[in-house]
Amino acid sequence: MKHLFLYILLLITCNLTYGQVDTLAIREQILKLQDSSTVAFNHSRYKKSQNINQQILKLAGSINDSNLLHVGYRYLAYDFNVAGDTIKAKQALNAALSYTQASTDIIQIADTYLLEASIRDKSKQPFKKILSSYQKCIDIYNKKKDSLRLGVAYTNLVDMSLRHNQLDITEVYLKLNKKIIANHVPNEVYYYYTQLANYLVKKKDYEQAEFYINYAENHESNTGSILDKETICTIKADIYEGTGRYKEAYEAIIESKKALIKTQEEIHTKELKKVTASFELERYKKDAEINKKNIALQDELLESKSKINNFLILISAVSFFAIAYLFYSVNNRKKLIKKLTTKNEEYLEAKKESERLALAKTNFFNTVSHELRTPLYGVIGISSLLIDEAEIPKKSLENLKTLKFSADYLLALVDDVLQLSKIDADKIPLESSIIKIKDLLNAILSTFEFSKTQNNNHFKLHIDKNVPLVFTGNSMILKQVLMNLIGNAIKFTENGTIKIEVKLSHSQNQVDYLEFNVIDDGPGIPINKQKEIFAEFTQLQNNDTNYGTGLGLAIVAKLLHLINSRINLVSELGKGSKFSFKFPIEESHLTDEKQYLLSDLDDDSIFENKKILVVDDNTINQLVTSKILEKLKSKCDIANNGREAVEKIQKEEFQLVLMDINMPVLDGFEATREIRSLGYDLPIIALTAVEADEVEKQSIESGMNGYIIKPYDINVFKRTISINFK
C-alpha cells in the first residue's frame, strides 16, 4: 500500500511539473514577443507590432493567463490607436479592460488607463472624461513611485490639455513634469521644451516661446521622430505669424506638411491594413484555436505517461529511504525551529523597542528644534534690525553684532544636531537642483563675515576659468559641507588666511566633478588625531581649550558618503590644514542666466505699498516680521491665530499672507484650507520654525504657495515673497 501511494503521488507530481514547465516556457516565449513588439512599435513599424501582438494573444489564450491577455489586448490597442483606427482601438481596449479585474499587475492596469485616456482623446470625448482616465493612472504611478511612467502620463496630459486650451491644467503638469524629465529621461527634454513653447504661444509670449522651441529643435534632431519634427514646425509657424514674420511662417508650414505626409505614409501602408483586417477573423477563431491547443497538449501528456511509469519503479526505492531520512530530520528541525522562534520573538521585541526609541528621539529633536528656533528668530531678527539703525552708537553696535553672532552660533549648533539625526535616520533628500557656484560661495562667506573679523582672518576665493557657473547637483549637501569646513577653518585660525579653491576634473568614466579645497594656515592637526576628528563628538584641544561640539566634521564625512565621495585631509603641525573633497555635477541645460523662467527679483520696490497679513501667536515674532516688512515699505496687519486670519481676509483685501503653523484656536494648515474653501486665491506662505521636510508636503496639500523656515536669511525671505506677489 505504501508503494502504491508513492506511485500515485509521484505520478501526480510529475504530471503537474510537466504542465508547469510547459506553461513557463509559453510565458517566457510571450515575454520575448512583448519585447519584440515594443521594439517594432518604438521604431514606427506598426504592422509588425500588430502581427506579434496577435501571436501573443494566441499563446496567452492557450494557457488562460489573464495578466498576459490583458497586456496583449492593450498592445494591440496601441497599434490601432496610433494608426488612427479608433473603432478597433476601442474594441481592443475594451477587451483589455475586461481583464483588469482578474489581472494582478497594478502597473499594467495603470498603463491601460493611460491608453484609455489617449483613445478617449482621439475619439473627441469630453475633456473631463479624458482627464478622469489620466487621473486614475497617475494615482497608481504616484502610489508605486514609478517616475518614468509618471513622466509619460504628465507629457500626454500636457499635450491633451493644450489641444483643449486648458492652460491652467497645462501649467500645473508642466511644472510637475520638469523634475521627472531632467532626472529620469534627459534624452526627452527636447519634447518638454516643445510643450513649454506651445504653452507660451497660447499665452502669446512669443519671445520666450521662440527661445524654447529653438532649444527643442537643436536636441530633437538626434532623438526625435518625424512626428516631433512636424510639431516643432507647426509651433514655429504660430510664433512667426504672431510676431508678423509671415514669410518665415509660410516656410515653417511647408516643412510641417512635409513631415506630416511622411508620417502618414509610414502609418497607412497596405500591409498595415491587411493585418488590421485579419484581427477581426482572428478574434472569431480564438476559442477554436484554444480548444485545439488543449487537445494537442492532452495527447502529448498521454504519450509521456508511459515513459514516466518506467521511471517511477526506480524512483520508489530511493523515495522510501528518503522518507525515512526526512522523518529523522523533521524531529531535529522541530527542536531547532523552537529555538529560532524564541530568538525571533526576542529580536522582534528588541526591534520594536529600537523603533520606539528612534521615534521618540526624532520627536524630541523636532520639538527641541521648534522651541529653540522660535526665540532665536526673535533674537536674530531684532538684533539684525537694530544693527541696520543709523543712530546706534558704535560701542552698542559691536555688542549687537556679538549678540547676533552668538545667536547664529546657537542656531548652527541646533542645525548640526538635527542634521546628524536626519543622516542617521536616512532622511536626507538626494535630489539635484540648479546651483550657481559664485552665488552659493558668496552667500556662505557672507555668513562668516563677523567671525572672520573677530579672529582677524581673511578670505581668498579662487574659481578656475573652466568651472561652469551654473550646473546641477545636490545643493543642500554642498552647502552643508562647505559651511562646516569653512566654519571649522575660521574657528582654529587667527590672523591668517582661509583659501577656498574650486576646479573642474573628470573621473575615469568621464563623470564631471568639482574638486574643492579649503586651506587654512592655522595650528594644524597632529597625525594621530587626523582620523579621530571625523568621529562624532570628537574635539581638538589647544592650550587646554575645547573648540566646538565635535559634530561638524562628522556631518561632513557622512554627507559626502551619501554622494559616493569622501573627505581628504592633509595637515602638519604649525603649517595649517587642507581639507579636500570631490562633488559630482551634471551639465545644466540652463547655462545662461536668461534661460531662467523667473528673474532673481532683487528689486525691493516690489514690496512698496503691498498689504501683507502676518499670522502668528508669538508677540516677538509679530514684531520682528512686521518691522522687516515696514522697512521694505509694505503695509502690515497682524492676526493672533488662524481664526482671526480667516475673519480679516473676509473683511479686507491683502496681497499676501505670512502664516505660522503651530497656533491655538485654528492652526496654519486648517486656516489655509478654510481660506481656499471660501474661494480666496491670494498667495499664502508658511513662516514657521518647523523643519522644511516636515512642512513641505503638508503646506502643498493645504493650499499654501511656499514656506520660509525661521530664522531665515533676509534675502531668502524677500525672494520667496517676491515670486509669490500677484
Task: For residue 441, tell me if it sits in a domain.
Answer: yes
Task: For residue 363, tell me if it sits in a domain.
Answer: yes
b/e 377-386 (16+ beta carbons within 10 angstroms → b): bbbbbbbbbb
Compute the average pLDDT of residues 198-219: 85
Terminal-to-terminal C-alpha distance of the chain: 89
Whether residue 548 sits in one domain with residue 485: yes
Whether residue 589 sits in one domain with residue 608: no
- Gap between the Cα atoms of 197 and 182, Å rounded: 17
Is 365 in contact with 418 (CB distance < 8 Å)? yes
Whether residue 608 sits in one domain with residue 683: yes
Ranges 212-226, 321-335, 694-708, most confident = 694-708
pTM of the model: 0.42
Q: Tell me the pLDDT band of 108, cut-offs 50, 70 and 90.
A: confident
Whether residue 387 sits in one domain with residue 532: no
Whether residue 458 sits in one domain with residue 358: no
Domain limits for position 674: 604-722
Q: Tell me the pLDDT band of 593, cut-offs 50, 70 and 90.
A: very low
- Gap between the Cα atoms of 110 and 434, Å rounded: 32
pLDDT tens for 462-498 read 999 999 988 888 888 898 899 889 988 988 898 999 9
Question: Residue 443: pLDDT above 90?
Answer: no
Task: For residue 118, tell me if it sits in a domain.
Answer: no
Residues 6+ apart with CB under 8 A from 41: 49, 75, 78, 79, 82
SS3 397: helix
C-alpha separations of 31 from 53, 57, 96, 108, 149 in Å: 11, 12, 17, 14, 19
Pick the closest to residue 459 from 471, 443, 473 (CA basis).
443
pLDDT tens for 48-72 read 888 888 888 888 888 888 888 888 8
Among the three residues 595, 628, 656, which one is the final residue of a domain in this structure?
595
- Gap between the Cα atoms of 214 and 337, Å rounded: 68
C-alpha separations of 88 from 76, 82, 95, 133 in Å: 9, 11, 11, 19
| Domain total in the chain | 4
Hey, how many other C-beta atoms are within 10 angstroms of the C-beta on 181? 22
477: CATH:
3.30.565.10
pLDDT tens for 310-360 read 555 666 666 666 666 666 666 666 776 777 677 677 767 776 776 676 566
Stretch among 168-177, 291-300, 378-387, 441-450 having the lowest mean pLDDT: 291-300
Task: For residue 109, tell me if it sits in a domain.
Answer: no
